[in-house]
Structures are given as structure tokens and as C-alpha cells.
Amino acid sequence: MTQIEKVLIANRGEIAVRAVRTANSLGIKTVVVYSRDDQDSLHVRLADNAVYLGSGSVLETYLNTGKLMEACEQTGADSFYPGYGFLSENPDFARLVTKEGYNFIGPSADVIELMGNKVSSRKEAKKAGIPIVPGSEGAIDDVSKAIDICERIGYPVIVKAAFGGGGMGMVIVNSKDDLEQAVHSAQEQAKAAFGRSEVFVEKYLINPKHIEIQFFGDKQGNVVHLGERECSIQRRHQKLLEEAPSPVVSPVRRAYLGNLVADFAKGAGYVNAGTAEFLFKDGQFYFNEVNARIQVEMGVTEFVTGYDLVVEQFKVASGEPLSFNQKQVDIRGHSIEIRITAEDPLHDFRPSPGQVTSLIMPGGTGLRLDTHLYQGYTVPSRYDSMVGKLIAWDLTRSLCRHRLLTALDEFKISGFPTNMRFHRFLLEDDSFVSGTYHTGTIEERGLLEKVKDEFYAQAVALLAYSQQSSQSTLPKPPSDNWKVQGRRESTGWSV
């Protein structure tokens, strides 16, 4: 048993805040690190110690393993908490941490290495009897072989980076003529983004669903699954909304797929939190990849199972067994999470950081807001545009959806545009209400355009009002709280 007494949290934003809170609740002392852009960040204010990493790029700060190790030594921390992103799936870092005698709160370096490579994790999944998307066995080293494979599986295909992430390094190919060029382009993108150029090819499924299984292993050899999350609402292959359970997964299917994944993870000697991602099409699941870390969308699983996954991460890393076994995992009610981003709907949802000039946060039963925002805080432009996760729980999917809509009404961020209005359109769209949505739904339903059109309509109305009001007395213009179809609506953004 290696009791954790002081943890260094090697991350920023909402996940750093979450990790500090959880560590505090367990009586563990906290050390955080921060860059100059993050000097006013909430995680810095909440932690016991904060170590400055300098004013440089991400590579020179949050990804600088030398500085992180030094910070650990200086402050007497005994463990690293990586969160998601940054160094969370870097096997070299996990190896270095362990070699230097610190505790890495995550899977072993060897497991991260095996799972982080999509080519090797596909092979392992196949060996374990898990159906994978048809495609190449290994990385493509010869385009003519790739042409043969694509002839066999049929077009369209997708060329993907073996070490890819964040929806990058993927190229869709519709015919043989474009394959060679796509392979070279994917290799170049992969090399530039991930430092590794290996790519593979697989069948491109049209409008599948993205459904994933959360699992957890401990050092005693127990591996338990915690059901699925559906994460099909995506833009540029990146998730925007997640829910648990999936509206299309029956308890029988959940148990079948969950047990298959748990056995797979057990066979790989998996310890700590992990997620097996699947694509679901025409009633069939296809393994996509494993994320060997905690995920952004863990909150919906926490709501429906009642377990605190970050507490489990700390416990398991200390050598304690998981707090629950498979029989105790019971999926209760329904949970939906939306990712709130500082993005401008009028400009193709490009990042729009700024200062929070006023903030009204939603609250109440069955609601959780994980954010690092506070009034007066300036969102730095250097990092991800996600500024929070709004998560609702209720007994049924329908009640949960309404609870989230009510919370969206209440939530007001002033100072920069956000994607909140988009989420309202999405939550009210027929495809979402019916649960039939898929990874292509945002485009298919024109949801981004709807938000933009509405904003323009408001702007035009305001302009007309301001022009006429100088001449006569007119009714009040549309404001934050004007009525649409009998429901109180909020603009979702404020400038």
C-alpha cells in the first residue's frame, strides 16, 4: 500500500479544480502547477501549493516533464495526477514518474503504450473476441497493400493516425484514386501533431453512433465496467454532449458489451480508469479505441452509478481495492452533460476567449456545474475553449432533458460568446428527443446554422429598434428573456 499524502496535479482548467476538490475531500495535500496565462486560475487559488511553470508554450510548461519532476521534488509531492489531455496518455512520462519513485495515478506505462497505439489496441481487441471496424491489420507501409484492403472492405474508408487524438489526423477517402494522397496527407498531419507518422485504414461508417464503456481496474486484479455513455453529438469528430445510459442500449446488451470489455481490460492487466470506445451501426458494435485515462464525460457515469471516479482513481493508485464490485454497479436514472465552450456562433464557432464580466450559475437538485470560471476571470486564448461542463440527472431521460433546459435558461455568462444557445437547439431537436441522433446529426439538422440565423434575426430586430426608437416610442426590443413558443428563452451568449 502506497498511501498518497501529497499529489501534484499536472493539469489546468476544470479537471485541475475537480482533482483538487477530490484530493481535499480525501485529506490529501495538493500541489498544482500553472503557466503565466493561468496565474489567476481557480485551481491555483484552491490548492495548498502552486508552482509556477513560466510564461512559455504548452511544451515549455504543462508538457515540460523536467519542470514537473522538479516541482514534485521541491514540494515533497509523492504522486502525479494527470487528468485528461496533456501528459495523461504519455507512456514515457508514466515510466519516468514511476522510475523516480513517484506514484502515477493511472494505468501502467506498458498498458498506456499498448492502448495509446490504435493499431496495437485494435489487434488486442480482436484477439479478445471484440468486433473491430474492418480494416488494415497494422500500420500502412505500402500503399498498394492498402489499395487491396480498401477494395476488399469497400469505400468510403478512413485513414487514421495510430497515435491520433482529439479528432485530428483522420482523412476520409471515397475512391481508390484519392487513397495514396490521403495516406501521405494523414502521415504528414500525424507527424506534425503527434510526432509519429504511422497511419492505418478502416471502413468509414456513415453516420454511426459513438457509444463507449467505462471500466475500472484495481491492483488486486478486479476489473469492473460501469455501463456505457453515448457521445454521438460531435463537431469535427469532437464530442459536445454526452449521456448515460445510451437511449439505444438495452440492459442485456450493456451487460454483454461491458463484460467483454472488462475481460479485455483484465487480460491486459489494466489498472485505474479507462474507456473502450465503439462505433454502433445497424445494430452492430465495432471497437474503435481505448482511452487509457479519465475522460471529460465521466460526470454522467458518476451521476447514474453514484460512484466518484476520481476518488476511485486515488484509492486504486494507493493500492486499495475498488469500492464496488460488478454486482453493486446499478445504473439509476439518466444523466446528460453538455460541454460549454467560449466559442462564437457568428464566426463558425471559433474560440472567443475573454473576461467574465458577470456570471449567474445554475443550481438545484440533480445538477452539477464543473467549471473553473468565476466573475472577473479572463479565459486565456492559449488553451482549449471548454469553460465548463453542465451535467443534469433525473429519474428519466425526459425529466433529465428538461432539467438541463431549465439550467440553461438560468445560466448567464457575460463577457464573451458561448455555445449555450446551440445546446438549447440541440436538446429541443427531434433527433435528440427521440434518441435517434448520430455522429452526423449536427450537420444533417443544420443546427449550427439555426443558431447563427437566430442571432442575425435578433441583431436585425435590435438595429431596427435602435433606428426607430430615436424617432418614436416603440415596444421593448427582444432581450435575454423574451418569449418564444411560450417558453422562457435565453440568448445563450452575451457579448
Contacting residues toward ligand ADP, per CB under 6 A: 133, 158, 164-168, 202-205, 208, 210, 234, 237, 277, 279, 288-289, 439
Sign of CA dihedral 336, 296, 111, 222: negative
Q: Is-catalytic flag, 445?
A: no
Q: 148 Cβ partners below 8 Å, 6+ apart? A: none
Shortest separation between residue 219's beta carbon and ligand ADP, angstroms: 27
The amino acid at residue 223 is V
The active-site residue out of 12, 18, 229, 293 is 293
Shortest separation between residue 415's beta carbon and ligand ADP, angstroms: 30
Centre a 10 Å sphere on the Cβ of residue 60 and count the other Cβ atoms it contains. Answer: 13
Query: Nearer Cβ to ligand ADP, position 108 or 295?
Result: 295
Shortest separation between residue 191's beta carbon and ligand ADP, angstroms: 15
Query: Nearer Cβ to ligand ADP, position 292 or 392?
Result: 292
Sign of CA dihedral 137, 141, 145, 150: positive
Residue 203, classified by CB atoms within 10 Å of its CB into exposed (0-12), middle (13-18) or buried (19+), is buried
Q: Name the pairing type of β-strands 49-52 and 29-34.
A: parallel
Q: Which long-range contacts (CB under 8 A, 24 or more apart) does 64-69 make?
A: 65/92, 65/93, 65/96, 67/33, 68/8, 68/10, 68/33, 69/96, 69/97, 69/100
Shortest separation between residue 295's beta carbon and ligand ADP, angstroms: 11
Strand partners, 210: 279
CA–CA distance, 138 with 199 (Å, rounded to integer): 9
The terminus-to-terminus CA distance of the chain in angstroms comes to 52
Query: Nearer Cβ to ligand ADP, position 106 or 208?
Result: 208
Shortest separation between residue 71's beta carbon and ligand ADP, angstroms: 29
Query: Nearer Cβ to ligand ADP, position 156 or 333?
Result: 156
User: What is residue 286's DSSP assignment?
Assistant: E
DSSP string, 39-108: TT-HHHHHSSEEEE--SS-TTTTTT-HHHHHHHHHHHT--EEE--SSTTTT-HHHHHHHHHTTPEESSS-
Query: Nearer Cβ to ligand ADP, position 54 or 440?
Result: 440
Shortest separation between residue 234's beta carbon and ligand ADP, angstroms: 5
Query: Nearer Cβ to ligand ADP, position 76 or 440?
Result: 440
Tell me how far CA of residue 342 lies from CA of 39, 43, 351, in angstroms.
19, 19, 6
Active site residues: 293
